[in-house]
């Protein structure tokens, strides 16, 4: 089959409101995550240097801050931020927010 369709809620919920869709969509190289975050939600600081994955964080709804290598980047709905694999990153929401995160080597 040349396509796979899924609702994000069908994904593997790794944490409250964080749905991983790589396996659900049968992706071979691309990771896709949807984060439905409450106000004042914070994600853990991490990087992907060991796997060489860059990520793009797209904020579909709400407002948030992504901290990349210590730099705070404010995000409004419609903003996207690309983060290099070796850079540390963490997310913090100011209000209920929805992210789509895509990552690949």
Q: Which residues pair with 42 in a beta bridge?
A: 92
What is the spatial distance between Cα 47 and Cα 66, in angstroms, rounded to a whole number?
13
One pLDDT digit (tens) per residue for the chain, 105 residues: 699 999 999 999 998 899 999 999 999 999 999 999 999 999 999 999 998 999 999 999 999 999 999 999 999 999 999 999 999 999 999 899 999 999 998
What CATH number labels 32-91?
Answer: 2.60.120.10
Domain ranges of the chain: 32-91
Burial of 104 (0-12, 13-18, 19+ CB in 10 A): middle
Considering only CA atoms, which of 53, 79, 85, 81 is closest in space to residue 67? 81
Longest dimension (CA), the chain: 43
State pTM to two decimals: 0.93
């Amino acid at each position: 089959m040349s396509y796979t369709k899924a609702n994000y809620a069908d994904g593997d919920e790794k944490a409250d409101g964080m749905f991983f869709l790589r396996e659900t969509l049968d992706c071979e190289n691309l990771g896709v995550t949807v984060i439905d975050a409450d106000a004042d939600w914070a994600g853990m600081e991490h990087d992907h240097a060991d796997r060489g994955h860059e990520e793009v964080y797209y904020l579909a709804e709400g407002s948030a801050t992504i901290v990349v290598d210590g730099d705070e980047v404010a995000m409004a709905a419609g903003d996207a931020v690309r983060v290099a694999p070796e850079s540390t990153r963490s997310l913090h929401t100011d209000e209920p927010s929805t992210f789509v995160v895509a990552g690949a080597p």
